[in-house]
Structure 1
Amino acid sequence: MTTDTTGNSVLDVDIAALQGGAADLGQYKGKAVLIVNVASKCGLTPQYAGLERLQERYATQGFTVLGVPCNQFMGQEPGSSEEIAEFCSATYGVTFPMTEKVEVNGDDRHALYERLTGFADAEGHTGDIRWNFEKFLIGRDGEVVARFSPQTEPESAEIVATVEAQLA
């Protein structure tokens, strides 16, 4: 199991960037961050387009999407860091930051997801990530403010309203 002792906020967790080096989540303190476990070969992969549109729409207002690749769901993110980056850029024009590929469930669950999975979604679900593209909105204070199911589209009224409330 990955452990973390740097602080209590989700944004205090140490995680590497997709292309190497530290992702430095601390740089997002004071911003709203939508953390999404992503995969390139999933039926929900087209959500990358909506995530990128959210990024473009709200980035100047103190918002970012943070993609977290994961290969735990039917091997739907098998690529290397370079392959993931190329796919996201070439296929969906992704400009938002991405972390290293991690495990979101099980004994080797990354410390980031240790902190996230205790938060309930609107239906009361807590615990394990159910599938690719489960989403967590982190408020400007570094606390989880919402959890959305994998099937909730990035540009849904529910997500947009919750993001806008954090940016107000």
Structure 2
Amino acid sequence: MSVTDLSVKAPGGAMVPLADYAGQVLLIVNTASKCGFTPQYEGLEALHRRFGPRGFSVLAFPCNQFGAQEPGDAAEIANFCSTSYDVTFPVFAKVEVNGTEADPLFALLKDEAPGVLGSKAVKWNFTKFLVDREGRTVRRYAPTTKPEELAGDIEGLL
């Protein structure tokens, strides 16, 4: 199974097939509006704009599992991303990334790219997963890894 075999929920509840992104390099990120890493939205947007024309997309998935740092509803999250960081990449519906209710996308990402010492759990907001054009997860990055540090890896997949 690949990432592009799955569907995810849009903020309004409609299902979006990730097949819509088939053939693209993807950076999938669990995000939060009230996190110390929230300013990374700026770097994520810069990557999206820089590499987007070459077949790259950032896909954001708000998550409230870490310190309740994403308390807003879909409209509040969209407004925050747009007005605070001029985000143009897709921001999907809020998801869970760990536990029994984890979104199937994050279950797959964690299986394909385990963390330190093989741990599967996402540790915090702004964990990033890089996916190649075939829909395979090739790397996981810690929340502390700044988006601009990923440019070389993204370039290599494009």
TM-score, with structure 2 as normaliser? 0.95
Q: Which residue of 1 aligns with 2:59?
A: 66
Q: Which residue of 2 aligns with 1:54?
A: 47
Displacement of 1:87 in angstroms is 0.2
Displacement of 1:124 in angstroms is 4.4
Q: Secondary structure at the match of 2:8?
A: coil
Instruction: Show CA shifts across 1:96-144 (max 9, x none).
Output: 01111010001111101110112135x5443000000000001001100
Q: Which residue of 1 aligns with 2:114?
A: 120
Q: Please list every run of 5 or more consecutive structure 2 residues that lacks an aligned counterpart in the other structure.
A: none
Q: Please list every run of 5 or more consecutive structure 1 residues that lacks an aligned counterpart in the other structure.
A: 1-7
CA RMSD of aligned residues (A): 1.1
Which amino acid in structure 2 is aligned with residue 64 of structure 1?
Answer: S
The structure richer in strand per residue is 2
The structure richer in helix per residue is 2
Find 2:31's aligned residue among 33, 38, 43: 38
Find 1:91's aligned residue among 62, 84, 92: 84
Q: Which residue of 2 aligns with 1:4?
A: none
Which amino acid in structure 1 is aligned with residue 151 of structure 2?
Answer: V
- CA–CA distance in 1 between the matches of 2:119 and 2:22? 24
Find 1:109's aligned residue among 102, 106, 109: 102
Shift >2 Å, 4+ stretches: 123-126
Q: How many residues align?
A: 157
* 8 Å CA contact 1:19, 1:82 repeated in 2: no
TM-score, with structure 1 as normaliser? 0.90
- CA–CA distance in 2 between the matches of 1:138 and 1:154? 15
Does structure 1 residue 146 correspond to structure 2 residue 131?
no
